[in-house]
Structure formats: structure tokens, C-alpha cells
Structure 1
Amino acid sequence: MIHPTALIHPSATLDPTVEVGPYAIIEGPAVIEAGCRVEAHAQVIGEVKVGAGTVIGRAAIIGADPQDLGFKPETSSGVILGAGNTIREQVTIHRGSKPGSYTRMGDGNFLMAGAHLAHDVTLGDRNILANACLLAGHITVGNNTFIGGGAVFHQFLRIGDYCVVQGNGSFGKDIPHFCAAYRTNRLAGLNVIGLRRQGFNSEQRAAIKKMFQLLFCSGQNVSQAVSAAKAEEWPEHALRLLDFVAAPSKRGVCAWQGGREAED
């Protein structure tokens, strides 16, 4: 199961079912759980935990030092990957930037070739990042979100659940739950097709749409719209959108700028 040209540090821990391809490098104290596959020329560096059933593609590098000019190489930090992730060719995932910090990924994600997660990123479950997506440090991504190829994201922003992001987009602000984003910090409307596919019923979608229209299309600024929304009763999913917009990161929230809103 381990190719004779692979280099594995004595302090690394590999389940007996792990497969390691030619010229792969696994440094200690990495832990790789059952059913994982580390393909040719991939590197798993230092304090990295890889959950069961994860595939690390050819020439991917997991756990390298962050690209932070103030980083000290002796810092104790790492990467934690959940189960069932697919990490394709030449993906890079850097370790945390501060002592005791981790770059984290949940379960069932698919990172296509050339995607990059910088230091201290937190990626949830069942997300898809297409080729060459670039996420800067300290970004948080929710669950069930699709990010198109070549999209780039500034540090410290948030991307919500059930979002869809256009390829080649450029973002320096938060993308709220359930939204479709494109170009530069723009919201096209709601990810209606994605919500249908994920099992949201018509009542749930209607409530989310009503909330979106109040927050972004009512002509009020964000603070005014949030106050108006809080004065009403809302079902659970609409409240999640409200809570996201009401508590933005320091980057602020992307805005709907008069583009055609997706129709339900």
C-alpha cells in the first residue's frame, strides 16, 4: 500500500489501509486515518490530521508554512481535515499562523486542481471549490456552497451556506447565506436553483426571498433594513439570513446593485 519511493517520517501515524503513491512525502507528526490515499508527489507536512476516506491528489501540499511575512517557522500550528474529502492535483492548504491555530476543513468537500486555502481558513462540509479558487487567510466558508473557477477572496471575510459564486469573481466582502455572487462584491440574488436541489420547499424559499428583498432591495441602508426585519416574525431559514447580515465581519457585506434577481 506504500510505494517504495515514498518518504514517511517515523513519527507519522498511518492507518494500515492508507495508500501512499510514488515520491509522496509525509512528515511527522502527521496522522492519516483509514481509507485515505496520498497520490504521487503529494506532501503532508507536520501537524496535519487527515480524516478517513480522504484523497490527496498528485502534487498537493497540505500543511506548509503560511505565506505571512510575520510568520515564525517554529510556530506550533497545523491543519485538520475531516472525512471523505477529495483534494485534487496541486491544491495547497497552509497551516495556522499563530501558536495553537489550525486551518480546518469539514467533511465531504471537493477541491479541484490548483485551489488554495491560506492559513486559518475554516471550510465547512460538502463544499465544491473549482479550479484555481484562492482563499486568503482567516476566511470562513459554510456548507453546501459552490465556488466557480478562478474566484479570489480577501482575508477575513465570510461565505455562507448554500451560496453559488461566479468563476473569476473578486470578493472583499461577506457573501450571505443562500446568495448568488458575481463580478466584484455583487449579489445577483438568491441561489434559487441550489436551494431547490438541496430540498428547500416553496414556503422556505419564499420566506428567504422575502427577507432578501427587504435587506437588499428595499432602498434602505443595511442598518435600517435589519431593524425593519427584526420587527417582524420570520421562519428559521429567513432568520439565518437576517442574522448573517446583522453581524457582518469587518469587511462588510456584498450588496445587490440592481442586477437581475433570480426568479423563484
Structure 2
Amino acid sequence: MATIHPSAFVDPGARLAEDVQVGAQAFVDADVVIGQGSRIMPGAHIGRWTTLGNNNLVYPGAVIGHDPQDLGYHGEEAYTIIGDGNVMREGFTVHRGNRPGTRTVIGNNNYFMVNSHVAHNCVIGNHVILVNGALLAGHVEVGNRVIISGNCQVHQFVRIGDFAMMRGGSNTSKDIPPYCLNDGTNWIRALNLVGLKRNGFSEERIRTVKEAFKIIFRSGFGLGKALNYLEQDGEITDDVARMVEFIKTSKRGIGSGRGSTRD
């Protein structure tokens, strides 16, 4: 049976695994599901229609799955779906979907630091880190093993590719391709080389991604010409193909290298 502090409130309609711990003055609403090994610390709030997987840690003052900050939302049933092994620190907030039947989705083994925020309808991959004060607006998509540094801001509907990084205090209203580092405003400054090395990329894999990056952001080609060159004459590894496909499918456009041209 779950361990629930006497001062906590757990709605009778919530379903908690037997070893879940709920701390003092925590709140768990109706229609919540919490998986094995999860711990809801004192003062945390789990909103309605939230599903937490196994081994999640929700720290004091975090608010998980509450109403979206959307004036068009009026209490309709919408969802927050969170996987396994996530850490949600003090003051972290994530909101449910903003329309009936929609959802905000978070994967596995992510780390959300103090006062970071994931808005409605976002989709977050695995092994993502949001540092203190990082803010994601609605409908943002974040790939795997991304780092969004302190006080970064991400505009609604932006996509951030796998292994990308945003430097502290930067912001973007454009998509950030896989493996890239965003600085300032919409500036794809460099590759996230430290991140690639830490994630076990070989020298050969990094070399091919470097060459593709130079063609896209440093050659002086327009974006369309750069992609055509890569597809026709470049070395198309799986990593390069991922970059090219991400850029080709961008709806918001991508950030540019400083001084580069864009079609």
C-alpha cells in the first residue's frame, strides 16, 4: 500500500502503485496514475489526468499536470503523460494539453531543474536537461539528450533536434537542428562538440557532422543550395541525413550562422 502522509490529500479516484510515497501537504488529484518507485515530496501538486511512470521524483513546490496557461482552455479533459525515471525539482511546472483529448508528453530519464517550465502540448524526449529558469512555450518539441541551459526561452512550435544545446540566457523562435549549439537569439553558433563527445560519438562521426555543419552554415551557400550539395555530393551518414531531414521539414525555419545567407 502506498505511504501517504496524514496531511497529504490523495483523491480516491487516483491510482498509486503500492510503494509510492506521498509527502506532507502534497496534493494528488482525481484520475491520476503514479507508477512504482515514485516519490511525491512535501508540498508537490499532481493535477488531474496526469500519468507518472515508474521511479519519478517530484520535489517540493513542483506543479505537475495542472491547467494550461491558455485563455481558450475551460477545464476540458486533457492529459499530461510522463515516463520513467524523471527528476522534477523545486518549482518545476508542466501543464496538460490545451484542448480536449490533447496531451503534453515527457519521456524518460529527464532532469528538470528549479523553476523550469514545460507548457501545454510540448513533447520532450529522453535524457533531456532543463536548467534553472528554462522556459518552453506551447507545442515545443525537444529531441533526445538535449541541454537547455539556465534562463533560456523557446518560442511556441519550435523544434530542437537530438544532442542540441542552448547556451545560458539564449533564446530561439527558430528550429535548432540536431547536434547544434544555439547562442544569443536564433544564432547557430557551432556544433555541440562537448555534448557529442560525452555521448560517445567517435571522431569519425564528429568529422562528418562537422563537414555538414560547415556546408550549411559556413559555406556562404543559401540553405537550399547547401542541402542540395550535401545530398548530391556530400558524405551522407545517418547523422548527416538526420540533420538534412530535420532542416527540410522545418516549418518555422532554422537559426542561422552569423553572417551566413539564407534562401
Instruction: Please confirm whether the aligned pair reaches a TM-score higher than 0.5, indicating the same fold.
Output: yes
Q: Match for 2:183: what amino acid? A: Y
Whole-Å separation in 1 of the counterparts to 2:232 and 2:77:
47
Q: Work out the CA distance in 2 between the residues paired with 1:256 and 1:112.
A: 29
Q: Is 1:99 aligned to 2:80, yes or no?
A: no
| 2:58 maps to which of 52, 56, 59 | 56
Tell me if 1:152 matches 2:149: no
1:254 and 1:178 map into 2 onto residues whose CA distance is 13
CA positional deviation for 1:70: 1.3
Task: Write the distance in 2 (CA, Å) between the matches of 1:194 and 1:8.
Answer: 41
Aligned partner of 1:46 among 28, 45, 48: 48
Aligned residue number for residue 254 of structure 1: 255
Q: Name 1:262's counterpart in structure 2.
A: none
Output the aligned Cα RMSD.
1.1
Q: How far apart, CA to CA, are the structure 2 residues paired with 1:41 and 1:49?
A: 18
Q: Which deviates the most, 214-223 or 123-132?
A: 214-223
Output the CA distance in 1 between the equivalents of 2:48 and 2:94: 12
| 1:54-91 alpha-carbon deviations (Å, 9 max, x no partner) | 00111111111111111121x11110000000000011
Q: Secondary structure at 2:224's aligned position in 1?
A: helix
Superposed CA deviations along residues 208-255 of structure 1, whole A, max 9, x for unmatched, are 111111111111111121122121351111111111111112x21011
Q: CA deviation at 1:201?
A: 0.6
Structure 2 partner of 1:15: 17
Aligned to 1:3: 5
| Separation (CA, whole Å) in 2 of partners of 1:70 and 1:220 | 43
Q: CA deviation at 1:185?
A: 0.6
Per the normalisation by structure 2, the TM-score is 0.95
1:63 match: secondary structure: strand
Give identity over the alignment, percent.
37
2:57 is equivalent to residue 28 of structure 1: no
Q: Which residue of structure 2 lines up, in the alignment, with residue 67 of structure 1?
A: 69
Q: 1:258: how far off?
A: 4.6
Q: Give the distance between the partners of 2:166 and 2:198, measured in 1 at CA.
A: 16
Equivalent position amino acid for 1:113 in 2: V
Dislocated runs of 4+, deviation >4 Å: none
TM-score scaled by length of structure 1: 0.95
What code does the residue aligned with 1:127 have?
V
- 1: distance between equivalents of 2:59 and 2:186? 31
List runs of 5+ in structure 2 lacking aligned partners: none
Q: What does residue range 184-203 of structure 1 map to in structure 2 within 5 Å? A: 184-203=185-204
Count how many residue pairs are aligned between Structure 1 and Structure 2. Answer: 257
What SS class does the counterpart of residue 4 from structure 2 fall into?
coil
**Cα deviation, residue 137, structure 1:** 0.2
Q: Which amino acid aligns with 1:56?
A: V
Distance (whole Å) between structure 2 residues aligned to residue 91 and residue 97 of structure 1:
19
